[in-house]
Structure 1
Amino acid sequence: MAILVTGGAGYIGSHTVAALLERNEEVIVVDNLQQGHREAVLGGKLYEADLRDAEQMDKVFRENEIDAVIHFAANSLVGESMQNPAKYYHNNVYGTLCLLEKMNQYGVTKIVFSSTAATYGEPEQVPIMEDDRTRPTNAYGETKLAMENMIRWFDTAYGIKYVSLRYFNAAGAHHSGRIGEDHTPETHLIPLILQVALGQRSHISLFGDDYPTPDGTCSRDYIHVTDLADAHILAVHRLRQGGDSCVCNLGNGQGFSVKEVIEIARKVTGHPIPAVVEARRAGDPAALVASSARARAELGWNPQYGSLERMIETAWAWHQAHPRGYGGQ
């Protein structure tokens, strides 16, 4: 039986595909390649398809014996979601509805959903617990919460069991050096910092230095992308073993401020990495740090790359080898 990975040519999706292949799983990848990279898919069967295209998705489900889905496919830029929420509702929410309808049609009853800490909005407490209030401060987080709720109702009505994984900032690159982080446009902090070290930009921007945090910059929880991949695979295992649906946070339990990330990157790269303070971005919470106690207890998740320095070291190695990303050595 195969695992379908939607968005499997993207950053976290491709690392999850690699981890599944290392475990000798049969992998089917669906990606429309608007943001993903064909070169990032290290094996399995790749369909260049869109979840919203019923004919394409019928072909995927007819041609393969799929017993579980890991769902990454989504737009995920906070700033863009505030400017163009229609795009996010159509791709994220409607795309997920189309996927769930096909799963129900073809009798696939297990889904692991790549959710986000953005579902919480401004947290009531730190670290954030899964039962805390969800009140997103941006359209991206709102669509992800809508996707979670939709999946929950499909469980109630149709018996599609799920694990929703809410997590924070992914970082790092695969141990093989073959895949890493390459977005267009790039908006994630660590690759942007490393572009400064590579001489591709003059400085890194600090979007606000007056947040209610110890040094005034936003604080975030960082997780190595390989540890994220492992969590998704453990969630599939839970569902295959007949486990109940659940929501789990994934985090290292320790927040790092933007200034701290820059300082560690300076140490790893040996580059001064100039920083310039700019205006806050709309919809950015001050601090997002998760408790992963439930994921550890329910999934048996035990992250292996807890050090932010180690995460940046693996990212730096990949970016040095691929300074222009995939296909641009």
Structure 2
Amino acid sequence: MSRKKFSWLAVLMVAIFVLAACGNKKEEKSSSDKVEMVDYTAKNGTISIPKNPKRVVITADSFAGYALQLGIKPVGLSSFALSNKYFGNRIDGIVDVGGEESPEKIMSLNPDLIISFAQSENLDKLEKIAPTIAILPKEMTFKEEMTEFGKIFNKEEEAAQWIAEWDKKVAKYKPQVQKVVGDQTVSLLGVYGKNAYVYGDNFSRGGEIIYGEFDLAMPKIVREETSKGKGYASFSVEKLPEFAGDYIFAESGDEKFSKTKQTGLWKTLPAVKNNRVFEIDETDAYFSDPVSLDQQLEEIVDVFTK
């Protein structure tokens, strides 16, 4: 064999070896990049989701805090979720996907998991982008929801730990609060001109803590009306004396409420006379996720014990 032929043969063999090696590396990389999937049963059926999702988009506003508390930083959140003051710098860098749940904007984030409300009109479109969990608000208690999100994000131990720490804090503060309030009643109100609302123990506004954890009493009519399935009730503002407790937590930020506070009816309420009315920001009132609740707990304890 001539030297020239031997040289070309050597080059060919080297090239084949390199290509084979590259092919093996590509195959190894493909194998290592394979995402492990698990089945999860949601409102839209049993779906296959990543066991450890990396790029999560949450359009179900009230559930964003569960992800954040479990160490999952979504790549996209709704505008309303991003308005939550309790999230602080935890949401730095998260993309605002708007308030209309735009499939185009969500697709641009290349999510591997989407969490949306079950009643979303865009559910079919979202399901074509990535595995989508459809969820309903207020169907479970916040502890049950925390446990559920522990399953979704493969963070069950972390979820259980948060619940255990929460229970310790409640056990510490509950006797202090009950000593102050005793058998007096507490109302959570939203007053808007001629219309007013009262909220129960699982409709945010601090109800989960005030009624659910501290076992403080509602006025009888509030208990009756909010236990009819909705978790809240509406009534005419003329009936405020019936629905107003010895302590009132009222949503602020509404111009009509500001006018109501100037009326004689409002000023006759015992809670007003005794300086036991505490205003809560209208936007913040909607959040009852673990991040928000942790801070609301401190605020509520301060209200009753300061």
More helix by share: 2
Same fold (TM over 0.5): no
Q: Which structure has the higher relative contact order (CA within 8 Å, separation 6+)?
A: 1
